[in-house]
Structure 1
Amino acid sequence: MILTTTNSIEGYTIKEYKGIVTGETIIGANFIKDLKASITDFFGGRSTSYEKVLIKAKNTALKELEERAIQIGANAIIGIDIDYEALGAGGSMLMVSLSGTAVII
């Protein structure tokens, strides 16, 4: 399946628009990652523990998006948009939501 943030796929003609598909995931950050991130923030540098959580959440939502497109008979998704949102008390949860247009090329 071809996945793209653009509204067309170079070299392909869109034969049919199947509709909007979405993929979502919510992941909690635990105390150890919070502690490690606060130390990293204090001394400077990247918080690899949070980066790993972000990557995992994005990949999970992307897989869900792709599965939903397959269910409606699409073989590509165009115009994918990715949004990140902190939820819960003190932003302890991370929601990643993706949307795009399922198409047949």
Structure 2
Amino acid sequence: MILTTTNSIEGYTIKDYISIISGVSMSKKAAKMGFSMSKYYNQVEKDVETIKEEAFQKLLENAKKTKANAVVGIKVEIELTTSNFVMVSITGTAVKVA
């Protein structure tokens, strides 16, 4: 599966635009770091990486359901909520390329 933030893939032709797809993931619990900002930032960094990977996996699963072989125009949004939850939303267009 080809994943790209661009709207085209060099050397390939988009034959069919299938669907806009997304993958969203959110941390399961609020960070409880006490008063150490260093620990807090380290935990947020780890959460973002973990949650981002989960969201990409969901995006891939959704792309496979549409029988796509690529996703173009990927946009990644990362949000830290006021409750210290990390949310990552990834959106793109599932396509067939040749």
Provide the C-alpha distance between the structure 1 equivalents of 2:76 and 2:5, rounded to a whole number of angstroms: 9
For the residues of structure 2 that align with 1:60 and 1:84, how far apart are their CA atoms? 13
Number of residue pairs aligned between Structure 1 and Structure 2:
96
* TM-score scaled by length of structure 2: 0.87
Q: What's 2:6 paired with?
A: 6
Tell me the equivalent position of 1:91. Answer: 83
Structure 1 residues 37 and 102: alpha-carbon distance in aligned structure 2, compared to 1, 3 A threshold: farther
- Relative to structure 1, the CA distance from residue 37 to residue 82 in structure 2 (aligned partners, 3 Å threshold; closer, same or farther) is farther
Give, in whole Å, the separation in 1 of the partners of 2:91 and 2:23. Answer: 6
Q: Give the C-alpha shift of residue 85 in structure 1.
A: 1.7
Name 2:47's counterpart in structure 1. Answer: 53
Matched to 2:83, the amino acid is G
Alpha-carbon shift at residue 82 of structure 1 (Å): 0.6
Q: Which has the higher helix share?
A: 1
1:66 aligns with 2:60: yes
Residue in 1 aligned with 2:21?
21
Partner Cα separation in structure 2 for residue 36 and residue 18 of structure 1: 48
* Whole-angstrom distance in 2 between the partners of 1:101 and 1:62: 13
Where do 5+ consecutive residues of structure 1 fail to align?
Answer: 42-46
Query: Under a length normalisation based on structure 1, what TM-score does the superposition of the two structures give?
Result: 0.81
After TM superposition, give the deviation of residue 30 of structure 1 in Å. Answer: 2.5
Question: Could you say which structure has the larger radius of gyration?
Answer: 1
